[in-house]
Amino acid sequence: MSSSGGPRRVFLETYGCQMNVADSELIGGVLRRHGWTRADDPADADVLLLNTCAIRENAEERVVGRLGELMRFKNARPGVQLGLLGCMASHHREALLDRAPWLDVIVGPDGYRDLPRLLEEAGDPRIEIRLDRGETYADLVPDHAPGPRAWITVMRGCDRFCTFCVVPDPRGRERSLPLEAVLAQVESVAESGRREVVFLGQTVNAWRADGLGFGDLLRRTARVEGIERIRFTSPHPSDFTEALIAAIAEEPKVMPYVHLPLQSASDPVLAAMRRDYTSDQYRAILGRLRAAVPGLAVSTDLIAGFPGETEADFQRSLDFLDEAAFDFAYLFKYSAREGTRAARFAETVDEAEKGRRLRALIDRQEEISLDKHRARISQEVRVLVEGPARRPVGCVFGKSEDFKTVILPGEGLAPGDVARVRIAAATSHTLLAAGVTSRRAPSLGAPEADEIRHLPA
């Protein structure tokens, strides 16, 4: 503990999307350079930090529950600080100052540079929200988690203001990291032995800097030696230019998988959401991508029960699942978010009906995913090994080029190896493989889990 004069220890827990995970890696780097060490157990820490998410109501409820638990540790020992970081901190900035005076620091997604100073200054709640100042953290080096994949934030914020989405409020306006800053990070993760980079941004394909677009960034990244796989999330359908589609199609290192958030397949609902495309325009983008990239895997996001969504609107989304045959889908019940435009729309779909619609979407997509996965049986795939699988014992897991989780016999395989395997069985979420021929990689740690958390776009 600090009172004993040793290094200060921080417990940092992350909620929400992959960008929050990447932000926590950045915070970890900032604090380490200021002499802080990490604590895995809140009981051992001098500072307890939650990096939070505001996207849906249940995301916030989890954080509120956790804050209550962490208060015990703060109350048990004098001097322990408790801080709220991320989107909830930023979105509820005013209310928090009144209602949670026991928070020592409240820091939004653009204030992490100042975190060491705020913690050292201890006193009244320290608040650092800083929106719209163009913060990109371009010069800061994150502490990347172990494993063969590194997440690199290339743009932050969002200018689109979809009516349901809270993100533009806590995360501010869109801004891109300069090309050289991104490439320096890619080179540094390649030197560490990692093989895959995933570019992150709320509308990642809106990245532009130095007169270049996102397709150029992918092409430049493909030239970095050591990097074998390039991915990105989450793109906005309207930002798929011909140049970007060509880069995905032509660069072998850019992996054949895109997340293409649809949100609804009904044109009136899309208009009310201000999604900036119609269902036909979305169809056309999907068609262009699939025509250009053979074997492309595609996932999507859909919201059930948006204000005004009729049974017929909902059926369009349900039918679109069949038509588009997505590899998988993230499916949500609409949840009104304070401060968004849709929060002022009258809710016309009650909770029970939202639940029924969500269930129907999930059931339909599960069948489609299972069919798609079964079609892969007896095919060969190349897997980048990440670490031990939870089960079966002795197996490892990794991702195929088209981003399916594959479980394979682990003998002789380590994180970072690329294994060529034949698929023997499938569930709606995983492929199971037999018959491994592998290539060894330099020694890398294993990541903690195979969970990927995705971003809005």
Q: Is 131 in the site for ligand 5AD (CB under 6 A)?
A: no
Write down the least CB distance from residue 361 to ligand SF4, Å: 18
d(CA 212, CA 200): 17
| Residue 55 interacting entry, from ligand 5AD, ligand SF4, none, C-beta within 5 to 8 Å by type | ligand 5AD
| Residue 231 interacting entry, from ligand SF4, ligand 5AD, none, C-beta within 5 to 8 Å by type | none
| Residue 202 interacting entry, from ligand 5AD, ligand SF4, none, C-beta within 5 to 8 Å by type | ligand SF4
Instruction: List the one residue out of 303, 291, 340 whose CA is nearest residue 169.
Output: 340
Q: Token pair of 431, please?
A: 């492929």
Q: Which residue is nearest to ligand SF4 (CB)?
A: 165
> 131 or 331, CB closer to ligand 5AD?
331
Question: Residue 149 forms beta bridges with which residues?
Answer: 196
Q: Token pair of 309, please?
A: 């969504």
285-323 in b/e burial notation, b at 16+ Cβ within 10 A?
Answer: bbeebeeebeebbbbbbbbbbbbbbeeebbebbbebbee
> 251 or 276, CB closer to ligand 5AD?
276
Instruction: List the one residue out of 104, 110, 115, 105 whose CA is nearest residue 36.
Output: 115
Angle between helix 351-374 and helix 311-324 axes, rounded to 10 deg: 10
| Residue 168 interacting entry, from ligand 5AD, ligand SF4, none, C-beta within 5 to 8 Å by type | ligand SF4
Write down the least CB distance from residue 267 to ligand SF4, Å: 17
CA dihedral 453, 454, 455, 457 (to 10 degrees): -170
Q: Is 337 in the site for ligand 5AD (CB under 6 A)?
A: yes
| Residue 301 interacting entry, from ligand SF4, ligand 5AD, none, C-beta within 5 to 8 Å by type | ligand 5AD
d(CA 31, CA 146): 18
| Residue 179 interacting entry, from ligand SF4, ligand 5AD, none, C-beta within 5 to 8 Å by type | none
> 201 or 261, CB closer to ligand 5AD?
261
DSSP type of residue 263: B
Asked if residues 370 and 427 have their Cβ atoms less than 8 Å apart, the reply is yes
Which residues between 3 and 62 bind ligand 5AD (CB under 6 A)? 55-56
d(CA 397, CA 411): 12
> 302 or 436, CB closer to ligand 5AD?
302
Q: Token pair of 316, please?
A: 């369009």
Q: Which long-range contacts (CB under 8 A, 24 or more apart) does 316-322 make?
A: 316/264, 316/265, 316/266, 316/279, 317/262, 317/264, 317/265, 317/266, 317/361, 318/360, 318/361, 318/364, 319/265, 320/262, 320/265, 320/279, 321/361, 321/364, 321/365, 321/368, 322/364, 322/368
> 73 or 330, CB closer to ligand 5AD?
330
Binding mask 246-275 for ligand 5AD (x = CB under 6 A): ---------------x-x------------
Write down the least CB distance from residue 136 to ligand 5AD, Å: 22
| Residue 83 interacting entry, from ligand SF4, ligand 5AD, none, C-beta within 5 to 8 Å by type | none
Query: Residue 324 contacts by C-beta under 8 Å, 6 or more apart in sequence?
Result: 262, 283, 286, 298, 300
Stretch that binds ligand 5AD, among 82-90, 220-228, 334-342, 398-406 (CB under 6 A): 334-342
> 102 or 161, CB closer to ligand SF4?
161
Write down the least CB distance from residue 58 to ligand 5AD, Å: 10
Stretch that binds ligand 5AD, among 8-16, 75-83, 219-227, 331-339 (CB under 6 A): 331-339
d(CA 258, CA 127): 37
> 237 or 456, CB closer to ligand 5AD?
456
d(CA 234, CA 240): 12
Binding mask 288-307 for ligand 5AD (x = CB under 6 A): -------------x-x----
Q: Is 164 in the site for ligand 5AD (CB under 6 A)?
A: yes
Stretch that binds ligand 5AD, among 27-35, 86-94, 333-341, 413-421 (CB under 6 A): 333-341
C-alpha separations of 170 from 15, 303, 375 in Å: 15, 21, 42
| Residue 158 interacting entry, from ligand 5AD, ligand SF4, none, C-beta within 5 to 8 Å by type | ligand SF4
Q: Is 320 in the site for ligand 5AD (CB under 6 A)?
A: no
> Is the Cα torsion angle 375, 378, 382, 386 positive or negative in sign?
positive
Name the site residues for ligand SF4 (rule: CB under 6 A): 158, 160-162, 165, 167-168, 202-203, 236, 456-457
Q: Token pair of 445, please?
A: 């740690």
d(CA 204, CA 198): 10
Contacts to ligand 5AD by CB under 6 A:
55-56, 164-165, 261, 263, 301, 303, 332, 334-335, 337, 456
